[in-house]
C-alpha cells in the first residue's frame, strides 16, 4: 500500500512494482486524508497489505518557512498516523525522509548515526516525521534521500528543461551547494527490494532502522545543471547556458545546507542493493523524457 497518488516517487513505485512481485494499492486524498487515522486504518484493514509505504511529502522548502503548520501536518502528523495504523494491523512501514535533517556543516557524506540538526523549517518537519514514525512502529524503515528527479511530477531536472524551452536566458546555479542527485526510478527499485526482503524476514530486527539511499557521486548544483543541459543538447531538447553563482545569490527565505551528501554504505551492506552513478541515472530519465514515454 502506497500513500500518495500524484507525487513522483509514488508514480515511480507503481511503474516498478510488478517487476518485484507486488500489486500496488494507492491511497491518498481526497478520500483518505493524511490527518484521518480512521480512514487510513480502514484502508489498511480493507486491503490487508504486506507493507505500507509513505511516498507523500510537503517538499516546498521555501513554502515551509511561512506554511509550517501545513508542512508539519504532511511531514510529521501524517506519517505518525500511518505508522500507528500500520502497527495496529501488524505490518511494517517505510517512510521517506530527506538529507535536510542535517545542517550541512560536514565536508564528507553523512552517515545514519551523524547528529541531525536541520537549519530550515522543512528539515525540522521531516525530522519530526522520522521521530514520530520510530515512536509509533518499531517495524519501520526510514529512508533519507536527496535531490530526487524522475520523468514524473515536478522536480529540478524537469523544471530547468522546461525553463530552457520557454526562454533563452542563461540559468544561474550555485557552485557552492553540494549533494547527490537521485533518480526516483532507482530509489523506487531499492524501496521495493527492501520491501521484498522485509516481508520475507519480518523477524530480523537488523533489517529495520534508518538508511540513506541516493545515487553515487557528490557534485554541486552547477555541475548538476550543466550535465542536464549537455544531455538535453545531445537529445535534441531545449537547453540553456548555465552560469555559476553562490547560493547566497538567490536570497532565499529558507537556509539550505551547503553540503548534505549521504553515505549509502549501510543500505548496500544490509540489503545488497546496487547504487547507480548519478550520470547514468540522469541519462536514463532524460532518455525517457526525450522519447516522450511519459
Determine the pLDDT at residue 168.
85
Contact in structure between 220 and 174 (CB atoms under 8 Å): yes
* Tens of pLDDT, residue by residue, the chain (294 residues): 999 998 999 999 999 999 999 999 999 998 999 999 999 999 999 999 999 999 999 999 999 999 999 999 999 999 999 999 999 999 999 999 999 999 999 999 999 999 999 999 999 999 999 999 999 999 999 999 999 999 999 999 999 999 999 998 999 999 999 999 999 999 999 999 999 999 998 767 789 999 999 999 999 999 999 999 999 999 999 999 999 999 999 999 999 999 999 999 999 999 999 999 999 999 999 999 999 855
Determine the pLDDT at residue 292.
81
Quick one: how far is CA 261 from the chain centroid?
13
Determine the pLDDT at residue 293.
53
pTM for the predicted model, two decimal places = 0.96
Determine the pLDDT at residue 206.
81
Q: Using the CB atoms, write b or e for 248-279: b if 16+ within 10 Å.
A: eeeeeebbbbbbbbbbbebbbebbebebbebe
Domains and CATH numbers, the chain: 2-154+181-216+260-277 (3.40.50.720)
Determine the pLDDT at residue 203.
64
Phi/psi for 97 (5° steps) reads: -120, -155
Q: Which residues pair with 284 in a beta bridge?
A: none
CA distance 201 to 115: 29
β-strands 178-179, 209-212: how paired?
unpaired
Find the DSSP H helices in 91-240.
Answer: 121-136, 156-166, 184-200, 221-234
Determine the pLDDT at residue 57.
96
C-alpha pair distances (Å), 196 with each of 86, 117, 130, 164, 208: 17, 32, 22, 40, 13
Which residue from 181, 140, 191, 171 is spatially nearest to 286, judged by alpha carbons?
181
Amino acid at each position: 500500500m502506497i500513500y500518495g497518488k500524484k507525487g513522483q516517487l509514488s508514480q515511480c513505485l507503481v511503474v516498478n512494482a510488478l517487476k518485484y512481485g507486488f500489486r500496488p494499492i494507492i491511497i491518498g486524498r481526497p478520500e483518505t486524508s493524511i490527518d484521518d487515522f480512521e480512514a487510513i486504518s480502514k484502508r489498511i484493514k480493507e486491503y490487508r497489505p504486506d507493507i505500507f509505504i509513505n511516498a507523500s511529502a510537503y517538499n516546498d522548502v521555501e513554502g515551509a518557512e511561512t506554511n509550517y503548520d501545513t508542512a508539519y501536518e504532511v511531514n510529521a502528523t501524517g506519517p505518525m498516523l500511518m505508522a500507528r495504523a500500520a502497527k495496529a494491523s501488524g505490518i511494517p512501514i517505510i517512510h521517506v525522509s530527506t538529507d535536510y535533517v542535517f545542517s550541512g556543516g560536514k565536508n564528507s557524506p553523512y552517515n545514519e548515526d551523524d547528529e541531525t540538526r536541520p537549519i530550515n523549517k522543512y528539515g525540522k518537519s521531516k525530522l519530526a516525521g522520522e521521530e514520530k514514525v520510530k515512536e509509533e512502529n518499531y517495524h519501520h524503515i526510514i529512508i533519507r534521500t536527496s535531490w530526487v528527479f524522475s520523468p514524473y511530477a515536478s522536480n529540478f531536472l524537469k523544471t530547468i528543461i522546461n525553463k530552457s524551452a520557454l526562454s533563452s536566458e542563461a540559468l544561474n546555479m550555485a557552485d557552492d551547494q553540494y549533494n547527490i542527485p537521485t533518480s526516483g526510478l532507482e530509489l523506487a527499485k531499492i524501496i521495493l527490494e527492501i520491501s521484498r526482503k522485509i516481508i520475507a524476514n519480518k523477524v530480523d530486527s537488523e533489517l529495520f532502522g534508518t538508511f540513506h539511499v541516493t545515487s553515487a557521486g557528490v557534485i554541486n548544483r552547477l555541475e548538476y545543471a550543466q550535465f542536464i543541459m549537455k544531455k538535453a543538447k545531445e537529445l535534441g531538447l531545449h537547453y540553456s547556458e548555465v552560469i555559476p553563482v553562490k547560493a547566497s545569490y538567490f536570497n532565499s527565505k529558507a537556509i539550505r545546507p551547503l553540503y548534505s551528501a549521504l553515505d549509502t554504505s549501510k543500505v548496500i551492506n544490509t540489503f545488497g542493493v546496487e547504487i547507480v552513478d548519478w550520470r547514468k541515472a540522469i541519462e536514463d530519465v532524460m532518455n525517457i523524457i526525450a522519447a516522450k514515454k511519459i
